[in-house]
A and B are shown apart, each in its own frame.
Chain A
Amino acid sequence: GESVGLHLPTLSVQEGDNSIINCAYSNSASDYFIWYKQESGKGPQFIIDIRSNMDKRQGQRVTVLLNKTVKHLSLQIAATQPGDSAVYFCAEINDYKLSFGAGTTVTVRA
């Protein structure tokens, strides 16, 4: 069965607001997680990663939170911009294999 998934298939957000994209995973042995962004006609683009020995990691305008107790991962995007419109996938690496969830389509409203 699927081990990685996202709570909501779509998210609409006002430009300038913060976005939160959620992901639940079921494999408690997973120790490495990655968020990817996929724009139309392009391949998945690495955004940020986090290993299981951390619960938070920050990048430029993005923050990933990991809650191992409830097996939940989230991606926060600060001050969402039109260029953030895309499909976002969480992915886990387990036994050296990367598995994707189903994706959340983020639409930024002007």
Chain B
Amino acid sequence: EPEVTQTPSHQVTQMGQEVILRCVPISNHLYFYWYRQILGQKVEFLVSFYNNEISEKSEIFDDQFSVERPDGSNFTLKIRSTKLEDSAMYFCASSQANNSPLHFGNGTRLTVT
């Protein structure tokens, strides 16, 4: 069964550094998403992306965050200057349509020190 893959599985970075989290969505999916989960909390929406542009974003997704689909297969989340509170699991997801189930990757654990 096709799946969403994310790399790396764990990223450790120092405060103020830039990080790029990478995702390969399911190949025939058109909608892409990033979510995050702070330890012990619920999964929170960050951003949705369709047709090479952001379709919606949450208050969490401020100017420090950006997303990109650099080619036909990858979908990336960049955090320009990481803060301690950015430490979380970041999940990428994709869906075929905007009202169909999202399929999630296994996440990247980001630790900011």
Contacts and interface: CB of A to CB of B under 8 A. Distances in A.
Interface of A: 32, 34, 36, 38, 41-46, 49, 89, 93, 95-103
Nearest to A43: B104
Interface stretch (B13-21, B42-50, B60-68, B73-81): B42-50
26 contacts: A32-B99, A34-B101, A41-B106, A42-B106, A42-B107, A43-B91, A43-B104, A43-B105, A43-B106, A43-B107, A44-B43, A44-B91, A45-B104, A46-B101, A46-B103, A89-B43, A95-B56, A96-B56, A96-B98, A97-B45, A97-B56, A98-B33, A100-B35, A100-B43, A101-B42, A102-B42
A36 B101 CA distance: 10
B89 to A, nearest CB: 8
